[in-house]
Amino acid sequence: MREQTLYPPVKAFLEAQGYDVKGEVNGCDLVAIRGEELPVVVELKTSFSLALVFQGIARQGLSDNVYLAVPPFSRRTTRKKDALALCRRLGLGLLTVRLEPAPFVEALLDPAPYRPRRRKHAIGRLLREFQRRVGDPTQGGSTGRPIMTAYRQDALRCAAHLRRNGPTKAAVAAEETGVARARLIMYADHYGWFERAAATPPGVYGLTPKGHAALEQYADVVAALERSGQ
């Protein structure tokens, strides 16, 4: 596929809406004019790319009505969603151009000023995680062992308590570690570190072999938690 194969369907699409359309005008792949309105500028590419986005941004110096036109996105990827999110934030329009079995142009997004929505719940989760996390246990950009979240730190505190004291009632572990959600952590057992201790009253938990291994793996984190007293 070549870029010029996208031009006829886009030209026909805009002409059907009353635009006068011409190609390659002052470096723009396509320019459409209708009455006294601002021109519509369309940049054509055979795939969605950062280079195409840069072109669209440059054309915004000529008009607020700038579209990027590409072939339809593959259903096997989430790229369409990402492309729409990026174009929305930049105020760019997005067209897809299908050539077979018959030419078809779909306007996925029209240019408009971006008005970000503040997601209060997400902001709240971000701040709670920041405040609950002890120290700065994971460097930004790390790709090694799992991120040391506040939840994982609390689970390690519970595991360290069980290693020192043996099977313990969840309420006692919560009080002595200061981890208010100790019972929920041990009951949910997301990491496979905890188990209901055999032949004990309900609510008593012990440490699994996987839990012992985790305490060795995260010995530095456990030591830092103990030094902090949190």
CATH code where residue 193 lies = 1.10.10.10
What is the model's pLDDT at position 145? Answer: 75
Q: Does some domain include residue 224?
A: yes
Query: Are the CB atoms for 205 and 194 separated by under 8 Å?
Result: yes
Q: What is the CATH number of the domain that holds 76?
A: 3.40.1350
Neighbouring CB atoms inside 10 A of 58's CB total 14
Residues 88 and 160 in one domain: no
Burial class, 196, CB count within 10 angstroms (exposed 0-12 / middle 13-18 / buried 19+)? middle
Residues 10 and 76 in one domain: yes
Q: Does some domain include residue 131?
A: no
Residues 76 and 154 in one domain: no
Residues 16 and 69 in one domain: yes
Q: Does some domain include residue 116?
A: no
Radius of gyration, CA atoms only, the chain: 29
Token digits of residue 60:
């915004």
Residues 70 and 160 in one domain: no
Token digits of residue 213:
């291994």
- Nearest in space to 14 (alpha carbons), one of 41, 36, 38: 41
Q: Does some domain include residue 39?
A: yes
Q: Does some domain include residue 119?
A: no
How does pLDDT run along the chain (230 residues), one tens digit per residue? 688 899 999 999 999 999 999 999 999 999 999 999 999 999 999 999 999 999 999 999 999 999 999 999 987 666 898 999 999 999 999 999 999 899 999 999 999 987 767 778 888 888 888 888 888 887 777 667 788 999 999 999 999 999 999 999 999 999 999 999 999 999 999 999 999 988 778 889 999 999 999 999 999 999 999 888 76
At residue 103, what are phi and psi to the nearest 5 degrees?
Answer: -60, 135
As for how many domains the chain has, the answer is: 2
Residues 103 and 8 in one domain: yes
What is the model's pLDDT at position 117? Answer: 73
What is the model's pLDDT at position 77? Answer: 61
Residues 153 and 94 in one domain: no
Token digits of residue 74:
């593959």
Question: Per DSSP, what are the bridge partners of residue 44?
Answer: 69
**Separation of alpha carbons 147 and 145, rounded Å:** 7
The single-letter DSSP state of residue 38 is P
- Nearest in space to 186 (alpha carbons), one of 200, 198, 174: 174
**Separation of alpha carbons 106 and 113, rounded Å:** 21
Q: Does some domain include residue 53?
A: yes
Residues 26 and 104 in one domain: yes
What is the model's pLDDT at position 227? Answer: 85
Query: Are the CB atoms for 20 and 62 separated by under 8 Å?
Result: no
The residue segments making up the domain with residue 26 are 3-109
What is the model's pLDDT at position 132? Answer: 86
Q: Does some domain include residue 220?
A: yes
Which residues 6+ apart lie within 8 Å of 116 measured at CB? 89
Which residues 6+ apart lie within 8 Å of 94 measured at CB? 67, 68, 69, 70, 83, 84, 87, 107, 108, 109
What is the model's pLDDT at position 230? Answer: 61
Q: Does some domain include residue 153?
A: yes
Residues 49 and 98 in one domain: yes
Residues 89 and 180 in one domain: no
Residues 16 and 97 in one domain: yes
Is 82 in a helix, a strand, or coil? helix
